[in-house]
Amino acid sequence: MGGMTPVWIDTHCHLDAPEFDGDRPAVLARARAAGVALQVLPAVMAAHFDTVRAMAHAHGLAYALGIHPLYVDRSVDADLDILADALARHRDDPRLVAVGEIGLDHFVPGLDLVRAERFYQAQLRLARDAGLPVLLHVRRSADGLLKGLRRMPVPGGIAHAFNASDAQAAVFVAMGFRMGFGGAMTFERSLQIRRLAGSLPADRLVLETDAPDIPPHWLYRTAAQRDAGEATGRNEPAELPRIAHTLAGLRGWNLAETAAATSANAVAALPRLAGLLSPARAA
């Protein structure tokens, strides 16, 4: 990339979260100043579909539509019809890049796993029918996600906040997925995540923040610190280049190489991003 400023893509950012209501324009300005050229804003429930779409169009970003596994229990079956209608209505919207955030969560107790599985499978079908990739929520659920993908193949996508075994990672790779790495990778104790980030094929890695969640180690606050009144460590997309330093170190890359590789991988995973990176594209 020569002397050009690195161009970063945050492949997973919840800019619509209430944590940003007080200073969203400043958050966006900091991201642009840091070289984050694009953010992908995944919805987590049907009530948010119009919001993420409007934000993407207002700020020159991208969005995805889906029902998150942690929101399935507060969703109704008709929300799947709302998703189907939205995907059909916006099928030609270049800023709609994926179906997501969808998936399974086997970490949080008390979830209706049968209902979550049904919503996951239904959303895979909608993604397949729409010809769109998916943004997958993976939390102790890799085997279940892979089982669903074998039943209902989709045009690839991103396994977000990736943390799985080497064998599971190999299957995601074989299915054409990219893996998302963010703040968790910056913690030295995240041994498996760091090992995967350093060993997966170079064309499988994308960067993300999951802002305002999964803060990197320099923003993290312990429960004791929070109880003592220290501000919670809100993550934001401007942190992406600093997070990328960790990936660069694990791979033996410089920052320009890291930006070029991860941005190219993001476009390969979510092909509609290519048109949004064009300087001729209006916001």
> What CA–CA distances, in Å, run from 63 to 25, 42, 60, 175?
18, 6, 10, 23
Distance CA 75, CA 208 (A): 26
What are phi and psi for residue 108, nearest 5 degrees?
A: -75, 125
3-state secondary structure of 203: helix
Side chain identity, residue 168: Q
* Residue 235, both tokens: 């993550």
User: Is there a binding annotation on residue 245?
Assistant: no
Distance CA 90, CA 67 (A): 17
Distance CA 56, CA 60 (A): 6
Is the pLDDT reported for residue 132 higher than 70?
A: yes
3-state secondary structure of 33: helix
Is the pLDDT reported for residue 165 higher than 70?
A: yes
- Residues in Cβ contact with 61 at an 8 Å cutoff, skipping those fewer than 6 apart: 15, 38, 39, 40, 41, 55, 95
Look at residue 193 in the predicted model and tell me its pLDDT. Answer: 98
Which is it for the CA torsion 154, 156, 159, 165, positive or negative?
Answer: positive
Look at residue 233 in the predicted model and tell me its pLDDT. Answer: 85
Distance CA 101, CA 46 (A): 11
- The H or E element spanning position 85 is helix 78-89
Name the superfamily (CATH) of residues 8-276. Answer: Metal-dependent hydrolases (3.20.20.140)
User: Is there a binding annotation on residue 14?
Assistant: yes
Q: Higher model confidence: residue 23 or residue 225?
A: 23
The mean pLDDT value for 129-135 works out to 98
Which is it for the CA torsion 172, 173, 175, 179, positive or negative?
Answer: positive
Print burial letters for 36-61: b (CB count within 10 Å at least 16), e (below 16).
Answer: bbbbbbbbbbbebbeebbebbeebbb
Is the pLDDT reported for residue 155 higher than 60?
A: yes
User: Is there a binding annotation on residue 12?
Assistant: yes
Classify the phi-psi angles of 2: left when phi > 0, otherwise alpha if psi is within -120 to 50, otherwise beta.
left
Q: Chain-wide mean pLDDT for the chain?
A: 94
Give the pLDDT band of residue 2 (cuts 50, 70, 90): very low
User: Is there a binding annotation on residue 160?
Assistant: yes
User: Is there a binding annotation on residue 210?
Assistant: yes
Give the pLDDT band of residue 53 (cuts 50, 70, 90): very high
- Tokens 């033996």 sit on residue: 252
Look at residue 176 in the predicted model and tell me its pLDDT. Answer: 97
Look at residue 76 in the predicted model and tell me its pLDDT. Answer: 98
Is the pLDDT reported for residue 281 higher than 50?
A: no
Look at residue 78 in the predicted model and tell me its pLDDT. Answer: 98
Is the pLDDT reported for residue 283 higher than 70?
A: no
- Are the beta carbons of 127 and 135 closer than 8 angstroms? no
Is the pLDDT reported for residue 223 higher than 90?
A: no
Look at residue 231 in the predicted model and tell me its pLDDT. Answer: 61
- Residues in Cβ contact with 261 at an 8 Å cutoff, skipping those fewer than 6 apart: 202, 203, 205, 253
User: Is there a binding annotation on residue 137?
Assistant: yes
Is the pLDDT reported for residue 282 higher than 80?
A: no
3-state secondary structure of 212: coil
